[in-house]
């Protein structure tokens, strides 16, 4: 694996799938001796959790399923 001129590397697909690293997943790097460790930021909710928290309390009683689905899609 090589580092590009822009300082980028590709994380192998099997590792991304195993660790659930989807496009737009936030990661952070840590230098450990002569190695670099990549991980999800600690203390920050994942995308799914952040979406649920953002939508919590936005649906009102009496809303139709279509109205609630539109909220989840950001429409």
**Would 69 be classed as within a structural domain?**
yes
Q: What are phi and psi of 29, to 5 degrees?
A: -115, 145
* Separation of alpha carbons 16 and 30, rounded Å: 18
Q: How confident is the model at residue 35 (pLDDT cuts 50, 70, 90)?
A: very high
The domain containing residue 36 runs over which residues?
A: 13-73
Look at the chain and report how many structural domains it folds into.
1
**Would 6 be classed as within a structural domain?**
no
**Would 32 be classed as within a structural domain?**
yes
**Would 3 be classed as within a structural domain?**
no
Q: Which two tokens stand for residue 60?
A: 């009102």
> Which pLDDT tens digit goes with each residue over 4-31?
999 999 999 999 898 888 888 888 999 9
Evaluate if residue 59 carries a pLDDT over 90. no
Over the chain, what is the mean pLDDT? Answer: 85
């Amino acid at each position: 694996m090589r580092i590009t001129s822009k300082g980028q590397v590709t994380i192998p697909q099997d590792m991304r799938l195993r660790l659930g690293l989807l496009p737009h997943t936030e990661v952070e790097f840590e230098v450990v001796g002569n190695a670099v460790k990549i991980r999800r930021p600690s203390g920050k909710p994942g995308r799914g959790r952040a979406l649920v928290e953002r939508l919590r309390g936005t649906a009102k009683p009496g809303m139709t399923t279509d109205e609630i689905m539109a909220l989840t899609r950001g429409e």
